[in-house]
Chains A and B, each alone.
Chain A
Amino acid sequence: MRTGVFQESYGELIALVRHPTQARWTVALVVAALVAPLLLSNHLTALVNGILIVAVGAVGLNLLIGTTGLISFGQAGFLAVGAYTTAILAADYGMPLWLCLPAAGLAAATFGLLVGIPSLRLKGLYLAITTLAFSIIITHLILTAEDFTHGSSGISTPKPALFGLELGSDRAFYYLVLAVLTLAVLGSANLKRSRIGRALLAIREQDIAARAMGVPVARYKLYAFVVSSFYAGVAGALMAYNIRFVNVDSFSMIISIEAVSIIIVGGLGSTAGAVIGSFLIIGLAELLNLAFGAMGGTVATGSVLELKSLIYGLTIVLFLRFEPDGLMGIYRELKNRWINWPFRY
């Protein structure tokens, strides 16, 4: 329990790690993350890979929705752009992984710039609808640009390899994903504590007032879109290498909705929340799989998939109703209750 913690200088205010305890817990987390694949089975490692990849995208989306307050349902479109860019570059042009990943990010960022333009004029629901329309149009374009994107056949990506190291196995790929996620989280945390991050917060609260204070609102709004879609593009690239098969079907509107619900369930505005939210939402599906697998027999019970969808939808609804601050909100409440016990918080 920490009391009497004050930030007395600007440096302390924007420090990444505020207290030695925080540092120790972070190290423990890093160690756990590094050791995890050795303790988990192949199958579980593959599952965690999927979750971490989604987390990369979620961290970016959190910057857009949570920090800047611009609601976007375009995640699926940006993931698709990233995945397809990587697939085309890797499969058709034989480009190596270390080129494909940033290329995918840049491609998605370009589209992000386009999608961000409406945000200069629109707010809230109207912006959300525009991004949704964009996402659907982008996936449609990918389908029609057949000569380039193989249309609906999909593209099979080669095995990921970094500087000669084969990363095909789930365990090896885990470390790559972990590295990317670490960079993503650090980038996001750094952005939020920088001048730009504070400007984005100001835009979220009241963009007209921010403009009055001298914040270049238009530029920073576009910046938020570009950064967020860059993250999504990289996540899409990782997806392409993970699943080894890219197809427009994997990027439907439902993915966008799932992404936003991850942010909300995790806690709007919190980077850690984005990661935890990914674990909850994606992990929930797998947990249900296990639960039903344990109950059912060799023949899959008819409505398992639907039951999973039902529980998934219900989770979102319940979170929104009872815990609008998400998991991070619950954590904060618990922490404060614990600190202040036996006094009421």
Chain B
Amino acid sequence: MRHHFKAALAAAALATAGSPALAEPGVTDDKIVLGAVDPLTGPPSLLGKAHQLALIVWQRDVNDRGGINGRQVEIVFEDDGYVPARSLQALKKMVDVNDIFGLIGTSGSAQLAAMMPLIAEEGIPAINDMAVNTHHFNPPQKSLFVVGPTYCQEIAAGMKYLVETVGLKDKKYGIVFQDDEFGDDIRCGYLKGIEQHGLDNAIELKFKRGQKDFSAEIIKARAAGVEVLVSGGVVAEHSTLLKEAARNRMQITFLGAHSAHLLPVQALAEGAGDGYYAADYVPALTSTEVPGVVRFMELAKKYLTEPEMKSLNRYSLAGFAGTLVFEHALRECGVDLTRACVIEKIESLENFETDGLFSPLTFGSGVRHAASDVLILRSNAADRSFSIVSDRIPVE
């Protein structure tokens, strides 16, 4: 009796397991399903929510204009809370349950690293415009495309600006950087800048992630006579460093990577938050001279509520521009939409314009990184904004 029951069970299981796969996952006659993993909760939600809102704006605009080749776009959002294990779990769920076609939200650097094996295994076309790291594209992955310079390239460009345009070649330089991959990347750019322009590297200070009190670090920097400080902090650290430096009566020029290009950083630094530099690859939300920004802000006003508008920041611009790349490939593939086609279309992009949000993007066979040249922005505390103060600086 027991034998029959078990056999029947096994047969049933096998029968259900062998269902025929869809022609292409995530694509039906009237729908394309995309996925996005973002940190929507927790402190990094500053990034995740802004990114998500941009994707929503894009989706609503595309659908209102008739979809892509007659198909409406649906985006499945998953929150990973910035924990790599959860990112992978979220992606697994999106693959198993939601059957996504492509991935347009890849969360942070370590989070994407956790998802990369699954992305490669399933061949999911993915765009990373959030957090760029060398191991995302070196060695190049088949279906993962990375837009934006690494922090190393950003800071190196920033240093170039400080030396050539602001004229700070003879000053003493110092860096305060976080004890993780992110901080190491910033330091990489810093050292490149030091070497390229023959600068005086007065001090390098490492700090543990999550640290709040930087008085010891600033005291050491001051003792070393630092006049230009490069910050390898994420968000709040920039502000604290600025405040501590002001408290210790230090006259410094401050440079941060694109995570310093955020209004909360400016606001948290209170009095000391004026006039610092941030190296970024997208313009400011108020850069009305850039058509891409104007277009995005108009769409955002149309589709988002007032409080949602307040959550927008540079991650929204980067996310929106990333979706433009994906949209282009989706459209080019026409009605016969396959993953292989999309991957091929993105790969063959040459000088792809995003209305000034990024500099023209180029991928290629075996090339999965389109760096985009760097812009330097300056913080204006008086009108709570940032303004572009440089032309695009090409990255190496």
Contacts and interface: CB of A to CB of B under 8 A. Distances in A.
Interface of A: 31, 35, 38-39, 41-43, 46, 50, 140, 143-144, 151-154, 156, 170, 243-245, 247, 249-250, 298-300, 302-306
B389 interface: no
B88 A298 contact: no
B85 A250 contact: yes
Interface in B181-224: 181-182, 184, 208-209
A31 B83 CA distance: 35
Interface stretch (B61-69, B112-120, B162-170): B112-120
Nearest to A306: B41
B85 A243 contact: yes
Chain A at the B interface: SS class:
helix
Interface in B63-87: 74-79, 81, 83-85
A132 B208 CA distance: 19
Contacts, number: 95
Contacts of A154: 84, 110, 113-114
Contact of B41 (A249, A299, A303): A303
Q: Which of A38, A243, A245, A306 has the most CB of B within 10 A?
A: A245
Contacts of B42: 305
B88 to A, nearest CB: 6
Contacts of A143: 179-180, 208
A43 B10 contact: no
B83 A244 contact: no
Contacts of B22: none
9 contacts: A41-B97, A42-B96, A140-B208, A151-B180, A152-B181, A243-B84, A243-B114, A245-B85, A305-B81
B13 A39 contact: yes
Interface of B: 6, 9-10, 13, 17, 40-42, 52, 56, 74-79, 81, 83-85, 88-89, 92-93, 96-97, 110, 113-114, 116-117, 135, 179-182, 184, 208-209
A303 B79 CA distance: 11
B5 to A, nearest CB: 10
A299 B77 contact: yes
B92 A43 contact: yes
Given A38-B10, A152-B179, A304 B41 contact: yes
A285 to B, nearest CB: 10
Contacts of A247: 84, 110, 114
Nearest to A37: B13
A205 to B, nearest CB: 39
Which 3 pairs, one residue from A and one from B, show the smallest C-beta to C-beta distance? A152-B180, A245-B114, A305-B41
Nearest to B14: A38
A50 B74 CA distance: 29
B81 to A, nearest CB: 6
A170 to B, nearest CB: 8
Of the candidates B6, B10, B78, B93, the one having the most CB atoms from chain A within 10 angstroms of its own CB is: B93
Contact of A304 (B79, B85, B116): B79
B75 A298 contact: yes
A143 B207 CA distance: 12
A151 B77 CA distance: 30
Nearest to B115: A245
B74 A298 contact: yes
Contacts of B13: 35, 38-39
B236 to A, nearest CB: 18
Nearest to B181: A153
A156 B113 contact: yes
Contact of B110 (A38, A140, A249): A249
Nearest to A144: B179
A294 B114 CA distance: 27
B92 A249 contact: no
A8 to B, nearest CB: 33
A298 B181 contact: no
Nearest to A38: B13
Nearest to B133: A153
Scoring A35, A41, A154 by chain B CB atoms within 10 A of each residue's CB, the highest score goes to A154
Contact of B88 (A151, A152, A243): A243
Nearest to B97: A43
Contacts of B179: 143-144, 151-152
Nearest to B2: A31
A8 B92 CA distance: 54
A300 B77 contact: yes
A38 B92 contact: no
B26 to A, nearest CB: 14
Contacts of B52: 299
Most chain A CB within 10 A, of B42, B85, B88, is at B85
A300 B110 contact: no
Contact of A300 (B79, B97, B113, B181): B79
Given A50-B89, A152-B180, A170-B92, 15 more contacts: A31-B6, A35-B9, A35-B13, A41-B96, A46-B89, A143-B179, A143-B208, A144-B179, A151-B184, A156-B114, A156-B116, A244-B88, A245-B117, A305-B41, A305-B42
Nearest to A157: B117
Contacts of B181: 151-153
Contacts of B78: 300
B137 to A, nearest CB: 15
A153 B110 contact: yes
B93 A43 contact: yes
B280 to A, nearest CB: 23
A249 B84 contact: yes
Given A38-B10, A243-B85, A305-B41, A298 B113 contact: no
A40 B269 CA distance: 52
Nearest to A297: B77
Given A43-B93, A46-B92, A305 B79 contact: yes
Contact of B96 (A38, A43, A244): A43
A140 B56 CA distance: 39
Contact of B83 (A38, A41, A151, A250): A250
A156 B114 CA distance: 7
Contacts of A302: 40-41
A170 B88 CA distance: 13
Contacts of B9: 35, 38
A251 B77 CA distance: 26
A213 B13 CA distance: 57
